[in-house]
Amino acid sequence: MFAGVLLTGLAFFATSCSDKNDDIVETAWNIENFTVNASEWSWSTANKRWEAVKQLDYIDDFIYEDGAVIGYVFLGEQNVDEVQVQLPYLKSYELGDGSKFTETISYEYSILTNHVTFYIEPSDGIQDPDAKVTYNFRIVMIW
């Protein structure tokens, strides 16, 4: 009896397997790299931050609504001490007078314009031109 149940179970299992991959969804991705040179940052008085706008060609409604968009910034010198950090990146500073502030480096993107805006936002809202340095960013889109 046990052998009969075992054979019946194996028969059901073998016939239920299919060579079709209709239920398998394949993942796709696109990676775009951006360099924002120190001269490209402009101060937004409305947002109290440095901004640089770039074209984000690959994004579409499906990625925007159902995918994932992840941003990174590269810190350090390539092939020396470079690290890739997920955005937002926060760094705290202490000034000579003992005051402190935090700088946030991040991004936002718009499906309406297909633009990505990278920004450097100081917590104290002070327009510090020394914050305008060259950064290399990476945007990864997964769907």
Q: Over the stretch 85-98, which tens digit does the pLDDT of each residue have?
A: 999 999 999 989 99
In the block, residue with structure tokens 């297909």: 114
Show the low-confidence residues of the chain (pLDDT under 50). Answer: none
Is 118 within the bounds of a domain? yes
Q: Which domain holds residue 31?
A: 27-142
| Residue 79: per-residue pLDDT | 86
Is 95 within the bounds of a domain? yes
Q: Pairing mode, if any, of strands 89-94 and 115-122?
A: unpaired
| Residue 95: per-residue pLDDT | 87
Is 80 within the bounds of a domain? yes
Number of domains in the chain: 1
What's 111's DSSP letter?
T
- Tell me the whole-structure pTM to 2 decimals: 0.80
Q: Angle at CA 117, nearest 5°, toward 114 and 122?
A: 165
| Residue 106: per-residue pLDDT | 98
In Å, what is the CA distance from 70 to each residue of 11, 30, 48, 63, 66? 46, 11, 24, 12, 13
What's 40's DSSP letter?
G
